[in-house]
Amino acid sequence: MHQFDQSLEAFIDGAGWFAPILFIILHVVRPLFFIPVIVICIAGGVLFGFVEGAILSLIGLSLMSLISYKLVHRFPKFKKNLTRLKEKIFYDRSLTVAQVMMLRIMPFIHFHLLSLYLMEMTKSLKEYMYYSILGLILPAIVYTGFGEAITALPWYITLCLLLVLAGAFKSIDIWNKSHI
């Protein structure tokens, strides 16, 4: 694990000023590869440390929110698919802005689905981005802090923690499939 940490640090040092830009781009292309938000934010804590990783994650997530807004308003089929997912997961439930902001901290809640809720509650792009960024601050801080914390753990505890998280993810997936 120590060798892996050193090689990551060497890669970041070698990339120089381009590394943060690559990290932000990774946030933006994350949905194409079905990578959960939490994974990228944790990686930010591991690669850049708490403060820089949290700031870069907030920038990347904010850009992703802006892109979500543009996609929903430009492509009706994308909005239709998100609306169908919303009805499937949340049925006929309405949420408040505060509830959406709290759900952002949940690691396995669909990012774009929560963005759709915010879009439906707000009147303009400016208002949407305001609430979206407010709702992204806490996840960026918590997940990045977790990423930095696991770098201080011994490799076997980190491995056990990853196995527990993978098991929790699989359990939630199985539970969701049995209740749909």
Phi then psi for residue 22, to 5 deg, are -60, -40
pTM: 0.74
CA–CA gap between residue 111 and residue 62 (Å, rounded): 11
Q: Which of 1-15, 91-105, 154-168 has the least mean pLDDT?
A: 1-15
Q: b/e string for 77-91 if b means 16 or more Cβ within 10 A?
A: ebeeebeeebeeeee
**pLDDT on residue 64:** 93
> Residue 55's pLDDT band (boundaries 50, 70, 90)?
very high
State pLDDT tens for residues 93-115.
Answer: 677 777 777 778 776 677 878 88
C-alpha 47/C-alpha 57 separation (Å) is 12
Locus of tokens 């098991």: 167
Query: What are the backbone angles phi and psi of residue 33, rounded to the nearest 5°?
Result: -105, 10
Mean pLDDT for 140-153 is 80
Distance separating alpha carbons of residues 179 and 88, to the nearest angstrom: 11
Structural Rg of the chain based on CA atoms: 17
Q: Is the pLDDT of residue 89 over 80?
A: no
How far CA 150 is from CA of 144, 147, 155, 170, in Å, comes to 10, 5, 9, 21
